[in-house]
């Protein structure tokens, strides 16, 4: 029976640690500030942004949510971002995805000051991450790295298989794990929709990271005995027995994989809470830099 990797508890621990840092910063006259720009009325985005705002409030970070209708022009959105770049009370800026179809997300990302890019999506931060230099790291991959650190899962010399090649999880996850650095030094394979014999590729993994957004894709016969299984997926599956009419599941068939794994993340309560915890971490790091520059 696998040990559960409790992301919810780790995220709460991180928030408690951050609260102490925020209290110290406030004592020095600096209040960390995070601004989220929400365009349109996507329910999942609204929920996510609200969760971020509540988390900020809990640890003493100033939070501002800027809501705009889905028909806002790209130019108007650009002006909002430029204004936030110049505000001294804002340390972190995020523009919530997805944006309406008439907007180009990369164009918007490029407008964000890399020093306030707490999502870690700006090409400057992505490039610095790739060459192993200090940068804002994307929150979900960084959250997984933090989970592994705190659960003493050392990927050094291990074979890691990542299923999924997104710019948000798969690619940056691989970049972090191959670094010549403590907590990395892994041999990494990225599997995806075009990978042949994907089950056999997955069975090689000492650490399997599932991040493709397909409900319960990873079955019990796709992991080897004793593997560490990290499930990034959050999928809604219809379930008439539930009050909401659906249940949340990951990309891993938990009931099948849990008996074979040595450690496994649940969904919900695994990787998800870590994403917000690392967003807050990046915001506090940014505010510390602001304090240093003010001296």
Model pLDDT for residues 3-31, shown as the tens digit of each residue? 999 999 999 999 999 999 999 999 999 99
Q: Does residue 175 share a domain with residue 237?
A: yes
> Are residues 96 and 217 located together in one domain of the fold?
no
Q: In angstroms, how far is the first alpha carbon of the chain from the final one?
A: 53
Known active-site residue 244:
no
Q: Do 169 and 220 have their domain in common?
A: yes
Whether residue 188 is found in the same domain as residue 255? yes
pLDDT given for residue 236 in this prediction: 85
The predicted structure's pLDDT at residue 294: 66
CATH classification of the domain holding 97: 3.40.50.10860
3-state SS, 62-77, equals: EEEEEEECCCCCHHHH
Task: Return phi, psi of residue 182, to 5°.
Answer: -55, 140
Both 250 and 150 in one domain: the answer is: yes
Q: Is 52 a catalytic residue?
A: yes
Q: Does 42 map to a domain?
A: yes
Give the domain extent around 268: 139-272
Query: What backbone torsions phi and psi does residue 143 show, to the nearest 5 degrees?
Result: -65, -40
pLDDT of residue 42: 86
How much is the pTM?
Answer: 0.95
Supply the DSSP string of the chain, one letter for each residue. -PEE--HHHHHHHHHHHHHHHHHHHHHTT---EEEEEEES--HHHHHHHHHHHHHHHHHT-EEEEEEE-TT--HHHHHHHHHHHHH-TT--EEEEPSPPPTTS-HHHHHHHS-GGG-TT--SHHHHHHHHTT-S-PPPHHHHHHHHHHHHTT---TT-EEEEE---TTTHHHHHHHHTSSSTT---EEEEE-TT-TTHHHHHHT-SEEEE-S--TT-B-GGGS-TT-EEEE---EEEE-TTSTTSEEEE-SB-HHHHTTT-SEE--SSSSSHHHHHHHHHHHHHHHHHHHHHHH-
Task: Round to whole Å and give the CA distance between 124 and 71.
Answer: 29
Residue 27 lies inside a defined structural domain of this protein:
no
Active-site entry in 96, 116, 117, 231: 96
| Residue 189 belongs to some domain of the structure | yes
Rounded Cα distance, 50 and 120, in Å: 20
Domain annotation covers residue 77: yes
Distance between CA 274 and CA 260 in Å, rounded? 24
Model pLDDT, residue 291: 84
For residues 166 and 86, membership in a common domain is answered with no
- Residue 68 exposed, middle or buried by CB count within 10 Å (0-12, 13-18, 19+): middle
Q: With respect to residue 123, please indicate whether it lies within any of the assigned structural domains.
A: no
Structure tokens at 200: 């056999």
Domain assignment present for residue 126? The answer is: no
* Active-site residue identified among 6, 91, 117, 119: 119
Q: Are residues 85 and 205 in the same domain?
A: no
165 and 49 part of one domain:
no
| Domain identity same for 143 and 264 | yes
Whether residue 175 sits in one domain with residue 243: yes
Q: Does 227 lie in the same domain as 178?
A: yes
**pLDDT given for residue 295 in this prediction:** 61
User: Looking at the domain assignment, is residue 173 inside a domain?
Assistant: yes
What CATH number does residue 220 fall under?
3.40.50.720
Q: Which residue positions in the chain have pLDDT lower than 70?
A: 294-295
Residues 156 and 266 in one domain: yes
Domain boundary among 71, 96, 113: 113
Task: Note if 96 is an active site residue.
Answer: yes
Whether residue 242 lies inside any domain: the answer is yes
For the chain, the domain total comes to 2
Catalytic site residue from 15, 52, 116, 171: 52
């Amino acid at each position: 029976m696998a040990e559960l990797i409790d992301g919810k508890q780790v995220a709460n621990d991180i928030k408690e640690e951050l609260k102490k840092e925020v209290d110290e910063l406030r004592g020095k006259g600096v209040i960390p500030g995070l601004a989220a720009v929400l365009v349109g009325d996507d329910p999942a985005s609204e929920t996510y942004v609200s969760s971020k705002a509540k988390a900020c409030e809990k640890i003493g970070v100033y939070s501002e949510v800027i809501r705009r209708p889905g028909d806002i022009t790209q130019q108007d959105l650009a002006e909002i971002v430029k204004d936030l770049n110049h505000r001294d009370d804002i340390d972190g800026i995020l523009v919530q995805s997805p944006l309406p179809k008439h907007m180009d997300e990369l164009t918007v990302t490029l407008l964000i000051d890399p020093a306030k890019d707490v999502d870690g999506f700006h090409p400057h931060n992505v490039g610095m991450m790739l060459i192993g230099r200090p940068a804002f790291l994307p929150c979900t991959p960084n959250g997984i790295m933090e989970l592994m650190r705190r659960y003493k899962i050392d990927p050094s010399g291990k074979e890691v298989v990542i299923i999924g090649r997104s710019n948000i999880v798969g690619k940056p996850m691989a970049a972090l794990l191959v670094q010549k650095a403590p907590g990395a030094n892994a041999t990494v394979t990225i599997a995806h929709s075009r990978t042949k014999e994907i089950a056999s590729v997955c069975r090689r993994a000492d650490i399997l990271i599932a991040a493709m957004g397909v409900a319960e894709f990873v079955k019990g016969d796709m992991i080897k005995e004793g593997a560490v299984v990290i499930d990034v997926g959050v999928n809604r599956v219809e379930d008439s027995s539930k009050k909401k009419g659906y249940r949340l599941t990951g990309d891993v068939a938990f009931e099948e994989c849990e008996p074979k794994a040595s450690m496994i993340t649940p969904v919900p309560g695994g990787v998800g809470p870590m994403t917000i915890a690392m967003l807050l971490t990046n915001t506090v790091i940014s505010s510390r830099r602001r304090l240093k520059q003010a001296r």
